[in-house]
């Protein structure tokens, strides 16, 4: 079995005040005079783990990572006990945070890479600020459309009926969900969980958090080796701040379809077209989309549609992997190295070793 080397050490880190009472944690590694690259983690709410630092050419890239609002080492934590105000935690806020971080670190433009939910955030940022983007690399591609959210919370239950039955049953018993209601006005399962997880009833909140996290572990299992390990703690253990934070943030974002349903509308796309409607803003920006064929949580259709709407992008489907895996990671490293080399050759960031 292959053993991965230790990731490069961070060379700088800090907390950046971004408004609304939030501070985001950031860190840097790699070459101080290299091509800037920013990494966006998944979730929403997943931690910033050091393994992401292995996938960059450290001799010629300057890598930044950050914990998004409410996640990881950023403050306040979305998993803090008691009521947490998430009104200032939306995709627009996260995009603005990225711009503040870019300016804070004196960066003109950077390569933007995102994993899972991070790929949604990467697309949203790139569409809002294409002049600041040297390239976009998406891994386990999502755009957090309503179709994707309804699939990952309800449709994929056709593949995991036993696990989904337990997942839906709690919402039926305590959250007002009706699995037989197919009307346009129906209460969505994700909204039922959002309400339970923010109900103020600590016992119900903890029960909903634990069932939600167990469901996530179930549907992400095919073609394993994804960007993070199991989410749920052992049955009977107290719910952790991490679990509570992830469940709060995921249900908050997914119940609002990633806050991107009308994202492209200010730039002339049809209202409701989401990130797919704004892909023309990325014309001429190098793009790589890496996705696993066995990713049943996020079928390859989304990656395919984004690729078709993005002239010049490259789509790589890895046939025998799911929501991540070693072949996908190797493709990630190769694609990122090509983007760094292309940025260096563009004279915007000349090779410091030449």
Output phi, psi for 289, to 5 deg: -120, 120
User: Of the residues 119, 256, 295, 297, which is catalytic?
Assistant: 295
User: Of the residues 116, 145, 228, 335, which is catalytic?
Assistant: 116
Both tokens of residue 153? 């919370």
Both tokens of residue 41? 């983690």
Residue with tokens 């399962």: 189
Give the span between the Cα atoms of 13 and 16, in whole angstroms.
Answer: 10
Question: Of 115, 208, 116, 223, which Cα lies nearest the Cα of 159?
Answer: 223
Q: State the DSSP code for 322.
A: B
Burial 111-139 (b: 16+ CB within 10 A, else e): bbbbbbbbbbbbbbbbbbbbebbbbbbbb
Give the span between the Cα atoms of 281 and 273, in whole angstroms.
Answer: 14
Confirm if 94 and 19 have CB atoms less than 8 A apart: no
Query: Among this protein's residues, is 129 annotated catalytic?
Result: no
Confirm if 45 and 70 have CB atoms less than 8 A apart: yes
User: Of the residues 61, 77, 323, 335, which is catalytic?
Assistant: 323
Q: What does 139-173 look like in DSSP terms, one character per residue?
A: ES-----HHHHHHHHTGGGGT-HHHHHHHHHHHHH
Helices and strands: H and E segment counts in the chain: 9, 8
Give the span between the Cα atoms of 101 and 97, in whole angstroms.
Answer: 6
SS3 labels along 59-116: CCEEEEEECCCCCCCCECCCCCCCCCCCCCCCHHHHHHHHHHHHHHCCCCCEEEEEEC
Query: Among this protein's residues, is 323 annotated catalytic?
Result: yes
Residue numbers annotated as active site? 116, 295, 323
């Amino acid at each position: 079995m292959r053993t991965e080397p230790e990731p490069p050490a961070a060379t700088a880190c800090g907390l950046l005040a971004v408004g609304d009472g939030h501070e985001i944690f950031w860190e840097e590694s790699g070459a101080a005079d290299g091509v800037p690259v920013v990494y966006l983690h998944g979730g929403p709410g997943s931690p910033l783990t050091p393994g992401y630092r292995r996938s960059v050419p450290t001799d010629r890239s300057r890598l930044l990572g950050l914990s998004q609002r409410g996640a990881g080492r950023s403050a306040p934590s979305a998993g803090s006990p008691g009521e947490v105000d998430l009104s200032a935690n939306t995709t627009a806020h996260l995009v603005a945070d990225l711009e503040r971080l870019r300016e804070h670190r004196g960066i003109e433009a950077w390569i933007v890479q995102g994993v899972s939910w991070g790929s949604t955030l990467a697309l949203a940022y790139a569409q809002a600020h294409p002049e600041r983007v040297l390239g976009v690399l998406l891994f386990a591609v999502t755009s957090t459309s309503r179709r994707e959210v309804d699939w990952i919370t309800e449709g994929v239950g056709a593949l995991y009926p036993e696990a989904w039955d337990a997942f839906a049953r709690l919402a039926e018993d305590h959250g007002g969900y009706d699995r037989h209601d197919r009307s346009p006005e129906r209460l969505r399962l994700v909204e039922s969980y959002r309400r339970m997880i923010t109900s103020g009833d600590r016992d119900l909140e903890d029960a909903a958090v634990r069932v939600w996290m167990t469901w996530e572990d179930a549907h992400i299992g095919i073609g394993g080796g994804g960007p993070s390990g199991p989410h749920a703690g052992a049955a009977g253990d107290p719910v952790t701040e991490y679990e509570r934070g992830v469940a709060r943030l995921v249900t908050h974002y997914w119940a609002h379809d990633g806050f991107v349903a009308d994202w492209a509308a200010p730039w002339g796309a049809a209202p409701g077209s989401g990130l797919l409607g704004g892909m023309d803003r990325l014309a001429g920006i190098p793009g790589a989309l890496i996705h696993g064929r066995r990713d049943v949580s996020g079928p390859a259709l989304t990656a395919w549609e984004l690729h078709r709407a993005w002239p010049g992008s490259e789509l790589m489907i890895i046939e025998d992997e799911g929501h991540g895996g070693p072949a996908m990671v190797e493709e990630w490293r190769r694609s990122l190295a090509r983007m760094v080399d292309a940025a260096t050759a563009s004279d915007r960031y000349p090779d410091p070793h030449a």
